[in-house]
Amino acid sequence: MVVALFYAFLVGGPLAYGQLTPTFYDETCPYVISIIRGVIAETLILDPRIGASLIRLHFHDCFVNGCDGSILLDKTATIDTEKEAFANNNSARGFDVVDIMKERLEGVCPGTVSCADILVIAAEESVVLAGGPWWPIPLGRRDSLTANRTAANAFIPGPRDTLERLRSRFTVVGLNNNTDLVALSGAHTFGRAQCRTFIDRLYNFNSTGLPDPTLDTTYLATLQQLCPQGGNGTVLADLDPTTPDGFDNNYFSNLQANKGLLQSDQELFSTPGADDIIELVDIFSTDETAFFESFVESMIRMGNLSPLTGTEGEIRLNCRAVNADLAGKDSVLVSSV
């Protein structure tokens, strides 16, 4: 009920944010959400990280020219793929799972569901399957015809960002730099991060030759054992050491205990003078409902950043390539509407 009220307040009607509406596929592909949910559920059996990986794809897509599926495009002679941007290279994952979703949807309702909408639905369903909130998903996005690696390098938040830098990155894409920032950072309540993304905090923070002083000393020792100097930088650590695969508010309690894994996490609680941000961390740590409500509101707002609708873009038949590049291949090219 609360989530529904938040949704009504945000969108104010079915045509808010252009032409996006939760009922967009009711007639043309009524089982779209259940199909995507099924693929995620199957994958979670062997890959408990996949939910966090899918929501990360959605985040990184929306921070680059809006939520248009551009992150899914492979490199070609004319496309400089976002997959090779700093924040995504050897890090972003789940593309093969999106391929499975798209293949199944094409088998049921060909040329109908955009890759951009697949990412939005996959993010919401990943949260639900991990025990988080449900919300009506505004749908009807179309897919971009190109990617933008330069913008990906410029706009996607990074694990070493200061709070000032994080605020700037959120503001420039059209999100607010307090509630949206803190609520969406709460997605780090599940998933993993590679040692290379935080190892400087363990041994040589800001070139001091010392660990990050905001790290809890016991947690520091645990991380140093997992990530020794000169060790394998791809070893994984839980973003939330308390409940690593559940979507809850423990992320914020971890920050209060100086157990934020990434610098960009701990900055939310340990930056002097950031009273508005610290207050939100305190609220969300004690009131999971407040976190869920704010998270839903911020996810809807992020999902509606500069969507392509109507006749803009296209409905890709393969999420990795624009339709023009599929011409001449073995599969029949179905024109998108």
Q: Return the amino acid letter for 231.
A: G
3-state secondary structure of 167: helix
- Let me know: does 283 contact 293? Beta carbons within 8 Å: no
Which residue's structure tokens are 């330069």?
A: 150
**In this structure, what token pair is assigned to residue 120?**
């939005």
23 marked ligand binding residue:
no
Within 193-315, where are the H helices?
Answer: 199-203, 217-226, 250-256, 263-270, 275-286, 288-303
Alpha-carbon span 142 to 122, nearest angstrom: 16
Alpha-carbon span 287 to 120, nearest angstrom: 26
- The sign of the torsion formed by the CA atoms of 131, 135, 141, 144 equals negative
DSSP conformation letters of 177-211: TTHHHHHHHGGGGS-EEEGGGTHHHHH-GGGSSS-
- Let me know: does 309 contact 140? Beta carbons within 8 Å: yes
**In this structure, what token pair is assigned to residue 118?**
């697949």
66 marked ligand binding residue:
yes
212 marked ligand binding residue:
no
188 marked ligand binding residue:
yes
180 marked ligand binding residue:
no
Quick one: residue 207, left, alpha or beta (phi over 0 = left, psi -120 to 50 = alpha)?
A: left
Element (H, E) at 192: strand 192-194
58 marked ligand binding residue:
no
- Let me know: does 300 contact 138? Beta carbons within 8 Å: yes
Residue 237 carries which DSSP code? E
Among 58, 60, 149, 167, the one annotated catalytic: 60
61 marked ligand binding residue:
yes
Q: Please provide the size of the chain in residues.
A: 337
| Helices H / strands E in the chain, number of each | 15, 2
Instruction: Collect all residues with Cβ–Cβ distance below 8 Å to 272 and sequence separation of at least 6.
Output: none
| Residue 58 a catalytic site member | no
Q: Which residues are catalytic?
A: 60
Binding residues for heme b: 188
- Which segments are annotated as binding site for substrate? 157
Binding site listing: 61, 64, 66, 68, 70, 82, 157, 188-189, 240, 243, 248
Q: Which residue ranges make up the annotated binding site for Ca(2+)? A: 61, 64, 66, 68, 70, 82, 189, 240, 243, 248
